[in-house]
Amino acid sequence: MEKRNIIVIGASAGGFEAIQQLIARLPADLDAAIFIVWHMAPTVRGIMPQVLSKLTTIPVAHAVENEPIQMNRIYIAPPDHHLLLEADHMRVTHGPKENHFRPAIDPLFRSAAYAYGNRVIGVILSGALDDGTAGLWAIKAYGGMALVQDPQEALVSAMPESAIRQVAIDAIAPIAQLVPLLVQLVGQDVAPKPSIAMHEDEKTKTEIRIAAEDTALGLTMAQFGQFSAYACPDCHGVLVKITEGSLVRYRCHTGHAYSTDALLASVTGKIEESLYSALRGMDERGMLLNQLGDQYAAANQPRQAALYFQLAQADQQWSELLRQAALVHPALKPDSLDEQRTDSDGVKPAHSALQ
């Protein structure tokens, strides 16, 4: 009988500390393979293996393309690469970003679910927005277990809260209690894999293939969802709306993927960029109009000078309106919405931090 021995961990903002605390508490002889995605900028040097190696005797290293999977090992997704699992080895790829990140949590979780089914334990730790929720949903759909760090303990609680809202979670606990749960679950016999609807299985397989390749050419998610009214913030392609239970997310034909919160964050950022771009153009036109007015005044043509000065003054008024709109706009940012949402639920609000 197969054993439960695949642990996948996802974290983002505030998650580095949570990962260290969890790994430091694991027993040295844990008979499981552990895979970790921590969201980071592509230019960040991958120091997590060195840091974690000081906290545990379990071997820790960045995952390597086509490396065989071994038990009692910790594998870290390297910077700017997705980490994917196959039946007996790992893939390290440069596929399209998900929620603006590579590595991203959802591709790891999704591929683990597809390859290992009910042998998988998914763990969501501290982070902003709702990354990892879709991947954790896939783990549950394929019979795996879902564990979440207690939002009250998480430095940034939005990711755990999102998972709790939208996935049937098996345990919510602080790090100190998550570790004994993992130890208890690892090595347990698991029942045969649950039956997965062909449509759902094909969708998961297609998304894994997208993450595994440099391009999504020839692969489309249109058959698994509905075309939305939204454009991809990265490539401006039409986004397909994918619904899984109460979970809604989006993917474009080139492969970029977004949760609803990540899409909101992107659209909000584009609005701010547009406001400041319009403000810059208005300010530049006002300066040019004043310059032309000065030139006509110097040439003793007061009528023409007055016309340009009037136009410049009108532009200044429009600039002031745009400036006020740009200053008010941050109130609509997703971290502020997270705080309002968690306050209304009576849960500790997430810290105001973006991934």
Which one, of 83, 63, 85, 89, lies nearest residue 74 by Cα?
A: 63
Instruction: Give tens-digit pLDDT for 27-74.
Output: 999 999 999 999 887 777 778 999 999 999 999 999 999 999 999 999
Instruction: Give tens-digit pLDDT for 92-133.
Output: 999 999 998 999 999 999 999 999 999 999 999 999 989 999
| SS3 call for 61 | strand
The two three-digit tokens of residue 241, written as one number: 């709306």
User: Mean per-residue pLDDT for 316-340?
Assistant: 70
Which one, of 130, 125, 81, lies nearest residue 107 by Cα?
A: 81
Element (H, E) at 7: strand 6-11
Whether the predicted pLDDT of 331 surpasses 70: no
Predicted pLDDT of residue 321: 87
Which one, of 135, 141, 142, lies nearest residue 103 by Cα?
A: 135
Predicted pLDDT of residue 239: 94
Phi, psi of 168 (to 5 degrees): -75, 95
Mean pLDDT (the chain, rounded): 89
User: Mean per-residue pLDDT for 244-249?
Assistant: 90
What CATH number should be reported for the domain whose range is 6-185? 3.40.50.180
User: Mean per-residue pLDDT for 216-243?
Assistant: 85
The pTM for the full model equals 0.84
Measured distance CA(283)–CA(287) in Å, rounded: 6
The catalytic site residues sit at 12, 39, 131
Instruction: Give tens-digit pLDDT for 8-28.
Output: 999 999 999 999 999 999 999
| Exposure on the CB side of residue 220, measured as CA atoms within 13 A | 9
Work out the burial of residue 18: count CB atoms within 10 Å of its CB; fewer than 13 is exposed, 13-18 middle, 19 or more buried: buried
